[in-house]
Amino acid sequence: METGRYDAPQPRLFAARGAVQAAANERDAILDATEELMRELIDRNGLESEEMVSCMFTTTDDLDAEFPAAAARRIGLDAVPLMCSREIPVPGSMPRVIRVMLHFYAAPDHETAHVYLGEAQKLRTDLEAAQ
C-alpha cells in the first residue's frame, strides 16, 4: 500500500476574528493598529501566508484616513485577497474600531485563536482566550 499525503488528515477551512481600536483617525494610527492586530492573529494561529484564503476588514464610520488592508500588504500578505468595508453604525458602539475576519486552512484539530487587543477586548468578553 502506498503512503504519502493521503495518509494525513485533510486541512479544513477556519475563520479567526479580531479587533483593535485605532488611537486616532490618522493614516499611521490605522496602519499601526491593524498591523499589530494582524501580526498577533497570524502568530497566535501559527499561520503562513500560503495557508490564508482571504481577509475581510471592517472599520467604524469614524475611520477613513487609510484602508486597513494596506497594513496587511505592508507585512507581506500581497497574495491574500483583502477587502475593506464599513461596520454597521450602531448607536453607542465603540469608536475607531478595526475588525478582521481571516479565513485560512489548518489541520482539523486546530484550535482557532481570536484576538481582541486593548480596549477592543470589551467587545468580546466571552472570549477569554482572545485577550
> What is the DSSP-derived secondary structure letter of residue 33?
H
Q: Which residues, given as ranges, of the chain have pLDDT below 50? A: 1-2
In-domain check, residue 117:
yes
- Supply the range of the domain harboring residue 100: 12-124
In-domain check, residue 52:
yes
According to the model, what pLDDT value does residue 125 have? 75
In-domain check, residue 73:
yes
In-domain check, residue 80:
yes
In-domain check, residue 82:
yes
C-alpha to C-alpha distance for 64 and 33, rounded to whole angstroms: 14
Element (H, E) at 19: strand 12-21
According to the model, what pLDDT value does residue 124 have? 78
In-domain check, residue 50:
yes
According to the model, what pLDDT value does residue 1 have? 42
Q: What is the CATH number of the domain that holds 88?
A: 3.30.1330.40
Question: Position 128: which residue type?
Answer: E
Q: Which pTM value belongs to this model?
A: 0.89
Domain count, the chain: 1
In-domain check, residue 129:
no
Per DSSP, the three-state class of 20 is: strand
In-domain check, residue 7:
no
CB-based burial, 92-107: b 16+ in 10 Å, e otherwise: eeeebbbbbbbbbebe
**Assigned C-alpha cell, 21:** 481600536
According to the model, what pLDDT value does residue 127 have? 65
CA angle 65, 71, 75 (to 5 degrees): 165
Cα separation values, 59 from 93, 107, 111, 117, 129, Å: 12, 30, 26, 15, 23
